[in-house]
Structure 1
Amino acid sequence: MITIGLTGSIGMGKSTVAAMFADRGIPVFDADAAVHRLQGKAGRLVAAIEAMFPDTTGPEGVDRTRLGEAVLGHPAALKRLEALVHPAVAEERAAFLAENSAAPLVVFDIPLLFETGGESRVDKVVVVSAPTDIQRHRVLARPGMHADRLDAILARQTPDAEKRARADYVIPTGGSLAETRAAVDAVIACLIGPEGR
């Protein structure tokens, strides 16, 4: 089995690329989705997060906007949250690997791959990248997003240029979906051959 770490800064199109890998039959572990399950309604981390960061949860689980406000720009608070979340996500990842042990290729969709040292736990790193103006346009169109919040998020992410330099493969997402899909197919073909699709 070859493991891919799929990453990219906010708004680069990583979710779209992850879906393209899945469409080709490649199992994809979505770290964000795992976090949403753990922090969602009846999620197993909700009570611990509420205890650590009061008034950040409700009937539907963690209020991500409130939790973000509690930790963004507060490195010590963010470290406490990560110490709670990362081990739980690692357990979900191990279960995913066990379920897909026969697959020749799996993808780990991990937004903060470099920031958490995750590149050392995968065989290949794929970075999704788009021009800065496209990235900002995409992110600022999201509900509840504003320029200051985007800047705070980007400040804690490894810069796009550094991610691209450290990648085994870069998938550009500034063009058409067909171009992006072709880039995904090229990565799959390089790693397991065209018959693997």
Structure 2
Amino acid sequence: MVMVIALRALRFCYGSNLLARESLLYKDRWEQRRGQHLVVKEGLGMQETVDKCGLGWFLPKFRWTTRRLVPPHSDNMLVGNVLMHAEYKRRWRAVKDLRDVFVRFNQATGWFQQHCVLQHPRLLRTWLEYLHVLCLEQFDADVWAAMLKHMFLDEGVATPLHIVTGNKMRFSVVSKLLLEFLFLWDDELERAGWGVKPFRLILQKSFEFVES
């Protein structure tokens, strides 16, 4: 959705289009009646800063650290813009697919703030369980990807299934040391091949968010 907004804004950087006609960029918040209901619509409110300063920029509706729109602005912008809704409809499979671990993590942090999770013990337990499952699912995905890479490739060449053997394994049994190697982080222990796996990155992000 952020990319759609960026592309809609891009054409105003290189042409003489009238910004006031692009509600998504120009207006802040307005209402429109649909039957018996009032629908709230939102834009990025550049009119406000243009009127005050002569220069236009987006109102603070983004969380720039995650490059996401802050709820509930995203829902109101989607409802308020027919062209963006059509773009969403055309890409519904990609939008619907939340398996990407970082998208799901950002979604979880949004839930935490939107639903005041910290104030409701039952919600908090469910939310923490969701983060646990998120990290473990990604761990499974990363392990399978590593297995497939080594079991079906030999020096980069596709081969039939084969078993990789050797006597230089760092860990020969499942132990506390193996769990620390996989799931904890420190500056002293080198984790060649595993240090930057997605499951470790999302685990650390989850830990830091819970800690904060």
TM-score by length of 1: 0.28
Larger radius of gyration between Structure 1 and Structure 2:
2
Q: Compare relative contact order (CA 8 Å, sep 6+) and give the higher one, 1 or 2.
A: 1
Greater per-residue strand proportion: 1
TM-score (norm 2): 0.27
